[in-house]
Structure 1
């Protein structure tokens, strides 16, 4: 098993090379919000909230759309390359939380939840989704204010649950790669990263409902991986975390 995982780690590094050409060809292209037909493949599913395209806080997009669509395209290619999962590489989903199609997708991804605000219908649907077996991943947010907003929004959906800080011994960090440390720095902000999760019945040995990359931005690493903007070590660490999250979600 150790040899298999070491080999997989080498493949992860190698897989970034062919992505460089594709990213260079597509840089600047922004496909419209869309979904792909359900066909049992894993589809990267991003949650939309608030403003439409172009309403973000950064040039080129922010909020729910930050790093879209390059982050999911690159991540899907890596996931397909090094696992046995059936992965859709030709498209991804963008869904609102009240959309019933979220139940077709085992994992949801939300960028910048520090700016997220949910209504009653969204909170109700998210609660049903999580209690029926889904997992939501929160990424790209930092600071106490953003954390308080995420916690408040999740209380609307799951008032009896709370986030629990994870360390590297949790099985999610050993589900595919043997991750030895969680010192994966935020790519652009000098803040200490933390990884927290919400569990069924608040039991860390139970089923995971939500996972938060606080003070981090894995999606930014994925988006710029082909260009090598942030260096190979933290970029590959960001991919390893993402792959582990997906493998864990699909096997627990």
Structure 2
């Protein structure tokens, strides 16, 4: 409820109904262990933040934060983004901290940057051993925030040529983790020209879907 009320306040501020306020939230990128390139896609989150502030009239801090799972600051970020191509490793304590963060109202977006899948699934089992990733139906609200995606995730990069899939971990009826697979959503957020094959239309679709993720994370109960 606190996240939802704060989101309404920042919307009112942006529309001039209240005096301007300091940034209400900062989005964070997860610095994880195991040697994988957690730092990939350097322009992704800044571009998404800028897009959300313009299109959703949010008041997000312009710079992303970087956080590790053993840092107390983790609990201050309502939206945690994770990406990479390679190995991921959570310690027992880190898995427990991530579980507390997600149960307590946090939201994790995992974006497979190609090659992450075989590593992230067993690590998330440490966090929620009782849960399985389930593919979300296209009717799920995450696809129907400000922007409508009636066919699910946009396809940014081909990878193995499979269809893009959005998987979720649902804890007591609440989506706590959204995992984008065979999509490469974060690459679509990067500066236009980073990947010459990505058209402006692909870039825009990726940002719109990203804005849906942020909107959903900040407004869900």
1:13-32 to structure 2, matched below 5 A, reads: none
Structure 1: gaps spanning 5 or more residues: 1-38, 57-62
More helix by share: 1
Match for 2:29 among 25, 31, 46? 46
Question: Partner of 2:38: helix, strand, or coil?
Answer: helix
SS at match of 2:82: strand
Q: How many angstroms apart in 2 are the aligned matches of 1:153 and 1:113?
A: 14
Is 1:148 the counterpart of 2:118 in the alignment?
A: yes
Deviations 1:63-82 (A, max 9, x none): 100011x1111111101001
Relative to the length of structure 2, the TM-score reads 0.81
Question: Matches of 2:144 and 2:185 in 1, distance apart?
Answer: 18
Who is 1:120 aligned against? 92
The answer to whether the 8 Å contact 1:43/1:88 transfers is: yes
Question: What's the C-alpha RMSD, in Å, of the aligned pairs?
Answer: 2.1
Relative to structure 1, the CA distance from residue 149 to residue 191 in structure 2 (aligned partners, 3 Å threshold; closer, same or farther) is: same
Query: Is the Cα contact below 8 Å between 1:141 and 1:147 reproduced in 2?
Result: no
Equivalence for 1:250: 218
Determine the structure 2 residue equivalent to 1:67: 41
Map 1:152-231 to 2 at 5 A.
Answer: 152-182=122-152, 184-187=154-157, 189-192=159-162, 193-201=164-172, 206-225=173-192, 229=196, 230-231=198-199
Is residue 2:40 matched to residue 1:77? no
CA deviations on 1:181-222 (whole Å, 9 max, x unpaired) are: 225224252432111011113xxxx21110001112111111
Contact 1:113–1:138 (Cα < 8 Å) also in 2: no
Q: Give, in angstroms, the shift of residue 114 of structure 1.
A: 4.9
SS of match in other structure, 2:41: coil
1:236 corresponds, among 174, 187, 204, to 204
